Amino acid sequence: MPADMVSREGAAPSAPRPNPRRQAQRSADMRQRLCQAALDALCEVGYESLTTTMIAARAGVSRGAQTHHFATKADMLVGAFEHLLQSWDAARQLAFGGRDLGELPFEAYLRFVWREIFSKPSYIAALELMLAARVDKELGERLRQALDSPASQRNLRWRALLRFPDVRKEEQFQYMTLCLLRGMAIHASFNRSDAVNEAVLDAWIELAEKVIAVERPDGRAPEGGVVSPRAVRGHSKRSA
C-alpha cells in the first residue's frame, strides 16, 4: 500500500488523482457532509421549514449532488437521523470508552445522557422526526429500523448499568427514565426555566437510587431492607 494519504488533502472542486479507493471515500465524505448539514438545518429551522434545497446549500454542494446521494427527502431525513445516532455513540465512546458501565454510578450515567444527548437541540430535532413519523408511515418504519440496533444496544448498556435481578422491573425502570428524559427535553425546549429541569433531574436521581438500592441485591443493599425506610424518606438536597 503506497503512502497516498498525502493526496487526501485539497479542495472539493478538483482533485485529479488516479487513486484507487478514492471513489468510495469521496462518496462517504459527501454523504457525511449532507447528513451533518441536514441535522444542523433541522435543529435551526425545525422540521416544518426544512427543505432539501436549504440542506444542499448548507453543505455547500449542488442539488444535483444531493439528489444523487439521497434521491428523496425521506432518504435525507433518515440519513440525518442515523448521523445523529452515530454522534450519540461517539459521545458515549468519548466519555466512557470501553469502560464497564456496571462500575459507574447511576447518577453519573444519567447526568451524562441528559447533558450530552437529551438536553441538546438535536434531541428535539429527533423528536420532531419521531412525531412526524406518526403520519408518515414509511418514514416511521425507516426510523424505527434505524433505531432498532441502537435500541437493543441501549438495552444491553442499561442491563450492565442496573443489573436488577428482576429483568422486567429493570426494563420498566429503564423506560420510565427514558420517558422522563424525553419529557424533560420538551419542557426545556418549550419553557424557559432550566432550573425546574435540574431540580427534576436531581429528584429523579435520588428517587432512582433508592429504587436501585432496593431492587438490586448489591453489596450495600441487603434483602432485609434495613436501608429502605430511611432511604425512601431521606430527600436531602443534592448539591448538583
- Applying CB under 7 A, the residues found at the interface with DNA are 1, 7-8, 12-24, 26-27, 30, 49-54, 61-65, 67-69, 71-74
The binder of 135, among DNA, a second copy, none, by C-beta within 5 to 8 A per type, is: a second copy
Question: Considering the rule CB under 8 A, would residue 132 count as an interface residue with a second copy?
Answer: yes
Ranges within 33-62 binding a second copy (CB under 8 A)? 44-49
Report CA torsion sign: 172, 187, 197, 110: positive
- The binding track of 161-200 with respect to a second copy, each residue x by CB under 8 A or -, is -----x-xx-xxx-xx-xxxxxxx-xx-xxx----x--xx
- Residue placing its CB nearer to a second copy in the complex, 30 or 85: 85
Spell out, one character per residue from 214 to 233, where the chain touches a second copy: x when CB under 8 A holds, - when not.
xx--------xx--xxx-xx
Tell me the residue length of the chain.
Answer: 240
Which is nearer to a second copy, 31 or 169 (by Cβ)? Answer: 169
Q: Which residues contact residue 211 at a Cβ distance below 8 angstroms, ignoring those fewer than 6 apart? A: 173
- Produce one character per residue of 3-41: b if its CB has 16 or more CB atoms within 10 Å, e if not: eeeeeeeeeeeeeeeeeeeeeeeeeeebbebbbbbbbbb
Report the Cα 234 to chain-centroid distance in Å.
Answer: 32
Nearest residue (CB) to DNA, 74 versus 127: 74
Asked if residues 139 and 132 have their Cβ atoms less than 8 Å apart, the reply is yes
- Min CB(134)–a second copy separation in Å: 5
State the binding partner of 233 from DNA, a second copy, none, CB within 5 to 8 A by kind.
Answer: a second copy
